Structure 1
């Protein structure tokens, strides 16, 4: 992995000290909860005391910093394992499988997830034109990168605002701008630069991703999607698959199945109403695709998830 451009090489000891400080502060704030949306815009804390089963979720553009334990996130056929030495950068809304793979009562899994403000990214790029370079690699809009001392120091200052609510409105944006700037300066930040740079193929593909996200219940027509992205159909298909590791139709299907699962688990819908609610016209097709995605039929899967939830 790469060091951030222009960063000062901190000693491993200093980085470990900052990581320990951040873990202590996160543990103190979250207590025994499994997650805590903080008062700081976009910042959520997570804690688990045992490994978890794989869970299908959609990640927003964000940076996830693990300070204890390990996590595995699978996008398509690519898995990203990361712990205290690396963070996960997500540049687009991506349906993934997420799993805590290392956690215990003695050393719980602790993670800080910061949602990225793409408008802020664009504003910083407009003030630093040299950062807005074109990116032509066919790599997904997700990667891991080294968690440097600079990042840990910034997150320590950010999380401290939870205990100084009077400072959040002013200081939070300043610290988050610093974090985004450091991401953009890194080699791995090229993915985020591409998504945010107006006119770039990554940014135009992101418009197609956003359209599917907002209209996933509707029938998907590639001509409509290509028009949204201002691309030819074959060009969009190529860039879409490169960024998301799936085709537009597969992406839509993942969103539909994730939302149907949520409707059954959280809102008490039966399988048929969940299927029609997310855009399926055939309950049997929904059952087949759900079983293929989650390993068992809808109702059996939801019952199993509720049993796990009751145990926790």
Structure 2
């Protein structure tokens, strides 16, 4: 039986009634599939390795655009809103993707156990980059995916493969960038803590001074490093979180446009509608009417 990454993802998604993304029995492992090129969609990327097995994709984080295709992977080290689209797919050769979510605690443990760990870069780098998907890293992902066929082995083997994957990322060509994002006392890690605080309280008014204090930086340095990491300002980041959550509330039927606006922190429904239209290309009611419930 064929056992390549494309073969396994195709076989598994063929057998699933659910639309993409498709969850697997392996914790943190998700498959993506699209038989057609897609319009851009707004979503929140979590820290993960986003592998393209077949086809091609484009993701935009703030002002930074990343194109990646079969044989490449997008590495996301910080939870960030983005605009993403499938740019190469067809019914005969669908877009196939594999998402492996990172556990930054495990990443940190692996780094601490490396005899000569990578030296983190001195300044905060962008939390997203594209890398070639080959060699040991590709072997790890293939073995992780193959575990789907031996579910009893998943609890024992999957954590070991995940640790190995972290090792190859940390000792690979982008090891210094990854190291800067997992060190408990690094600038990037402190900025990430502030991002988590913003994420948890996105409906509240944001004060740069408070976020900077969490990151142990001056407001100007924090603003600069936040933008370096996410390609957007804290206010832009918060706005995207608010609008994505409002869209989720409306699509799921939990709120109408006005109540969703207030729930995510807007004081003016008019301002909400204006900014929603700018981000999604249509006013809230019209946009939500075109979306399936699965978009929630």
TM-score by length of 2: 0.93
Contact 1:241 1:248 in 2 (8 A): yes
| Partner of residue 173 from structure 2, selected from 187, 194, 203 | 187
Check 1:261–1:21 CA distance in 2 against 1; reply closer, same or farther (3 A cut): same
**What is the distance in 2 between the residues matched to 1:206 and 1:186?**
22
Query: What number of residue pairs does the alignment pair up?
Result: 291
Question: What are the equivalent positions in structure 2 for 1:142-221 lying under 5 Å apart?
Answer: 142-221=128-207
Q: Report the equivalent of 1:246.
A: 232
Question: What are the equivalent positions in structure 2 for 1:226-237 lying under 5 Å apart?
Answer: 226-237=212-223
For structure 1, list consecutive stretches of 5 or more residues without a partner in the other structure. Answer: 1-17
| Partner of residue 58 from structure 1, selected from 31, 44, 49 | 44
Look up the SS of the partner of 2:82 in the other structure. Answer: strand
Look up the SS of the partner of 1:130 in the other structure. Answer: coil
Q: Report the equivalent of 1:263.
A: 249
- Write out per-residue CA displacement over residues 90-110 of structure 1, whole angstroms, 9 at most, x where no aligned residue: 000010001011111101111
CA deviation after TM superposition for structure 1 residue 53, in Å:
1.1
Check 1:129–1:200 CA distance in 2 against 1; reply closer, same or farther (3 A cut): farther
TM-score by length of 1: 0.89
**What is the distance in 2 between the residues matched to 1:122 and 1:266?**
37
Q: Does 1:280 align with 2:263?
A: no
**What is the distance in 1 between the residues matched to 2:34 and 2:58?**
14
Q: Report the equivalent of 1:109.
A: 95
Q: Does 1:130 align with 2:116?
A: yes
**What is the distance in 1 between the residues matched to 2:182 and 2:74?**
18
CA deviation after TM superposition for structure 1 residue 266, in Å:
2.4
**What is the distance in 2 between the residues matched to 1:219 and 1:308?**
30
For structure 2, list consecutive stretches of 5 or more residues without a partner in the other structure. Answer: none
**What is the distance in 2 between the residues matched to 1:136 and 1:163?**
43
RMSD of aligned Cα (Å): 1.9
Look up the SS of the partner of 2:116 in the other structure. Answer: helix
CA deviation after TM superposition for structure 1 residue 187, in Å:
2.4
**What is the distance in 1 between the residues matched to 2:175 and 2:82?**
20
Q: Report the equivalent of 2:9.
A: 26
Q: Report the equivalent of 1:297.
A: 283
Q: Report the equivalent of 2:56.
A: 70
Q: Report the equivalent of 1:8.
A: none
CA deviation after TM superposition for structure 1 residue 137, in Å:
4.9
